[in-house]
Amino acid sequence: MLALSCKDLVIGIPERADGSPVGFSIEPGQVWGVLGPNGAGKTTLLHTLAGLRSPRYGRVELDGEPLTALGRRRVARSLAVVFQDQQDSFPATVLETALIGRHPHLSPWDLDTAEDVAIACEALAKLELSGMENRLVSTLSGGERQRLAIATALTQSPDFWLADEPTNHLDLHHQVAIMRLLREQASAGCGVFMCLHDINLAARWCDRLLLLEPDGRACWGPASEMLVPEALERLYGQALQVGQINGRPVFVPAD
């Protein structure tokens, strides 16, 4: 089975001692959430899984092969990365940006085909960006840019999603829409791994969680086993109150 796995992985964070090694596999159909306070290394872990940063120890494997042994085009065909914030590297339209997702599937000198354009337009429609195809990205709001980043990843047709705060800058409606889309991607056979700040989004949408502490210690497993108030209070240094809505836990800060 295709999987994105880490073996005895210790992420490299300057001026921090080694944390506990992590070893888990992201498999098709799974939705992983990473929870932890600011500075715990959630983004660093995600970037390491994507091959964008080197681990201090251990390795990442894609389909049983070390990520470092695979070409970047091969990796890009399988892994889509959604960053926390979006940067405008050069002037481009919304459609041109979405089509970047097709580049790993093209030869170096190939042009976008009508099928590529159709795939990109369909992704834009799913992210409620239809009608904006010819707008410059620089004219978009923060939330629209975030939805465009997710549409670009969707255009990529990846096996695995690595998303850093995918609901960043989004209003409540679009937060739910994005989480539903990622769950749908998992149901269609993708693996999803995302860093989150919102415990309740994780409780609602993730089936597996990794809790990452500031000193590098980590624990992971089924969400039902990780959503323990005592563990979350220790993780965030914040007392919590727990309720239930439709059979699911809801966490709010205690006074």
**Confidence (pLDDT) at 89:** 66
Name the packing angle between helices 142-156 and 114-126 (round to 10°): 130
As a three-state string, the secondary structure of the chain is CCCEEEEEEECCCCCCCCCCCECCEECCCCEEEEECCCCCCHHHHHHHHCCCCCCCEEEEEECCEEHHHCCHHHHHHHEEEECCCCCCCCCCEHHHHHHHHHHHHCCCCCCCCHHHHHHHHHHHHHCCCCCCCCCEHHHCCHHHHHHHHHHHHHHHCCCEEEEECCCCCCCHHHHHHHHHHHHHHHHCCCEEEEECCCHHHHHHHCCEEEEECCCCCEEEEEHHHHCCHHHHHHHHCCCEEEEEECCEEEEEECC
Q: Tokens for 95?
A: 């459609």
What is the residue whose two structure tokens read 């409780």? 203
pLDDT tens by residue, 118-176: 999 999 999 999 999 999 999 999 999 999 999 999 999 999 999 999 999 999 999 99
Sign of CA dihedral 244, 245, 247, 252: negative
CATH architecture for segment(s) 4-89+157-253: 3-Layer(aba) Sandwich (3.40)
Q: What is the pLDDT of residues 88-119, one digit of tens each?
A: 667 899 999 999 999 999 887 888 899 999 99
Best mean pLDDT range from 14-23, 226-235, 246-255: 226-235
In the numeric block, the tokens 């932890």 are attached to: 36
State the pLDDT at residue 181. 98
Are residues 169 and 140 in contact, defined by beta-carbon separation less than 8 angstroms? Answer: no
Tokens encoding 28: 């098709």
Global confidence as pTM: 0.94
CB 60 within 8 A of CB 91: no
Structural domain boundaries in the chain: 4-89+157-253
Q: pLDDT value at position 1? A: 74
CB neighbour burial string for 128-161, b if at least 16 within 10 angstroms, e if fewer: ebeebbeeebeebeeebbbbbbbbbbbbbbbbbb
What phi-psi label fits residue 80: left (phi over 0), alpha (psi between -120 and 50 degrees) or beta? beta
Q: What is the pLDDT of residues 49-70, one digit of tens each?
A: 999 999 999 999 999 999 999 9
